[in-house]
Copies of this chain bind each other. A is one copy, B any other.
Amino acid sequence: MKTVTIGIIGAGRIGKVHAENIAKFVPEMEIKTIADPYMSEETVEFLRRLRIPHIESDPELILNDPEIRAVVVCSPTDLHAEYAIRAARAGKDVFVEKPIDYRIDRVREVIAAAREAGVRLQVGFNRRFDHDHRAVYEAVRAGKIGDVNLVKISSRDPAPPTIDYVKVSGGIFYDMMVHDFDMARFLAGSEVTEVFAYGAVLVDPAIGEAGDVDTAVVTLKFANGAMGVIDNSRRAVYGYDQRVEVFGSKGAVMDSNDTPHNAVLHGEDGSLTSPCYKIMWDRYTMAFAAEQQAFANAILRGEPTQVMGEDGLYPILIAAAATKSMKEGRPVKLSEIQ
């Protein structure tokens, strides 16, 4: 089997997720090196058990290694762009975690760097590779629902992040709904042209004091005439709630939440099923694996990636428009942002 030798920059939460999934599920990838200047002993031990041969503190060892063909950038967000650009300039295909950057110009620089270097760029919108959302996407693309009229997305997290995180997150539209903006474009097969956002603080007043909202409903207009609506909440006590629905001229297709098992208990008070998954890593493990598999396949087959640089840019533009809409209390056209 042909394999791609890769390096991973960053061994934080998401870096470890990718390292583990690649090691377990992506035989076409060979992790030669993972580098992070701040690794605990537990992290080193964890990476050793994955049999990664080089566990280093200096990312330069990846960027300068001619054997490494592709780089997976899992650094802190504010360094995403820098490492992506440097990896591209070193001639390596680049997978970069989302968001590429909160600054639109910086995102454009990354896209430009990859284009100039002639390397692949894939952005970490893993939900596109989730088995359920993917099946919805494929039904839409196969024409099973005809022309798309409406895209509906619910996305609710089990519990809010820490207030410290909220303060640096860029706000709910950049941090959380950005995934749904990507999903909306993906499912609609068209670009968003206008956005209207309502937000509220219903979960925790401290989130409001930090300048953010914790509940939001955003409506979208797409270039193809379709409409969209996304709702987000930072707290769903019943677990990770993520459902999509696409309605069209010939039907509708929708998914529901995965659960740890499908046993149903029938009792006097009704029939009880399992709660949803309570954490994202359980819900999306295989989606993280599938996005790396797709990255490997793109490289080995000489094809473009499935989530290209522009796919990293548009959700940021929409997030900017939504933020502006909520602040100004009016619909905002994407052309006002670009």
Residues of A near any B CB (own CB < 8 A): 1, 24-25, 27, 45, 49, 51, 131-132, 134-136, 139, 144-145, 147, 149-150, 152, 154, 156, 196, 198, 200, 202-203, 215, 217, 219, 221, 225-229, 231, 233, 235-238, 241, 247, 249-256, 258, 260-276, 329-331
Is A275 touching B270 in the complex (CB atoms < 8 A)?
Answer: yes
- Which residue of chain B lies nearest to A267 when distances are taken between CB atoms in the complex? B251
Identify which of A237, A258, A268 gathers the most chain B CB atoms within 10 Å of its CB. Answer: A237
Q: Looking at the complex, which one of B49, B134, B219 makes contact with A1 (CB distance below 8 Å)?
A: B49
Give Cα A275 to B251, complex, Å.
11
Quick check: A227 and B237 within 8 Å, CB to CB?
Answer: no
Q: Is the CB of A236 within 8 A of B256?
A: no
Instruction: Report B-chain residues with C-beta under 8 Å of the C-beta of A241.
Output: 252, 266
CA distance A225 to B265 in the complex (A): 22
Nearest-neighbour CB distance to chain B for A43, whole angstroms, equals 14
Q: Which of B215, B231, B247 contacts A236 (CB 8 A)?
A: B247
Report the Cα distance A93→B330, complex, angstroms: 45
Q: Can you list 7 A-B pairs with a CB-CB distance of less than 8 A?
A: A1-B49, A27-B49, A132-B261, A147-B202, A203-B249, A229-B231, A271-B273
Number of copies: 4
Q: Contacts of A237 on B, CB cut-off 8 Å?
A: 249-251, 267-268
Chain B: CB-nearest residue to A131: B261
From the candidates B150, B256, B268, name the one contacting A217 in the complex (CB within 8 A): B150
- Which residue of the partner chain, among B150, B196, B198, B330, contacts A215 with CB atoms under 8 Å? B150
In the assembled complex, how far is the CB of residue A53 from the closest CB belonging to chain B, in whole angstroms?
A: 11
The complex places the Cα of A198 from the Cα of B262 at a distance, in Å, of: 30
Measured in the bound complex, the distance between the Cα atoms of B264 and A263 in whole Å is: 16
Query: Chain B residues near A227 (CB, 8 Å)?
Result: 198, 200, 215, 217, 231
